[in-house]
């Protein structure tokens, strides 16, 4: 990973929401959803706000500091899952004081969990996927 690189959400099929500091990300194309540790949620929010990973290295995170190796592994998983990609011609942003404070009080190590047990349900679009002979709804292929 280039530590001065700037990342963005990789496609419009990736939707996300933060609930009480916990980020949940859904990949509409695959039906998989992702949950993060509290520190992972903060780093996700920073990365999609175009904060470069280099500015997160050494930041307070719970009882320790974010290491370059941990950030590199976390960003690699996000890109491997297709959630992030390099942002072309993007300007770097600074980490907000609110997010820096939340990161400093995070208790868990960087982690992302992928879940696919609901993928079949997510892939069904009962509003748009109608097939007269097959019935309704139709699961996307």
The domains of the chain are located at 7-123
Helices 97-104, 38-48: inter-axial angle, 10-degree rounding:
160
pLDDT of res. 91: 85
Which pLDDT tens digit goes with each residue over 60-106?
887 789 999 999 999 999 999 999 999 887 788 999 999 999 999 99
pLDDT of res. 123: 52
- At residue 6, the 3 state secondary structure works out as coil
Range scoring the smallest mean pLDDT among 54-63, 110-119, 124-133: 124-133
Which pLDDT tens digit goes with each residue over 11-21?
888 989 888 87
């Amino acid at each position: 990973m280039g530590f001065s690189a700037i990342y963005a959400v990789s496609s419009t099929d990736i939707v996300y929401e933060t609930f009480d500091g916990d980020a949940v990300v859904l990949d509409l194309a695959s039906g998989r959803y992702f949950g993060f540790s509290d520190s992972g949620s903060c780093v996700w929010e920073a990365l999609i706000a175009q904060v470069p990973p280099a500015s997160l290295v050494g930041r307070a995170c719970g009882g320790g500091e974010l290491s370059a190796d941990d950030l590199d592994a976390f960003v690699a998983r996000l890109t491997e899952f297709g959630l992030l990609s390099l942002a072309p011609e993007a300007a770097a942003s600074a980490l907000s004081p609110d997010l820096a404070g939340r990161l400093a009080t995070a208790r868990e190590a960087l982690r992302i969990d992928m879940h696919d047990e609901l993928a079949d349900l997510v892939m069904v679009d009962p509003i748009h996927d109608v097939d007269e002979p097959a019935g309704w709804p139709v699961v996307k292929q």
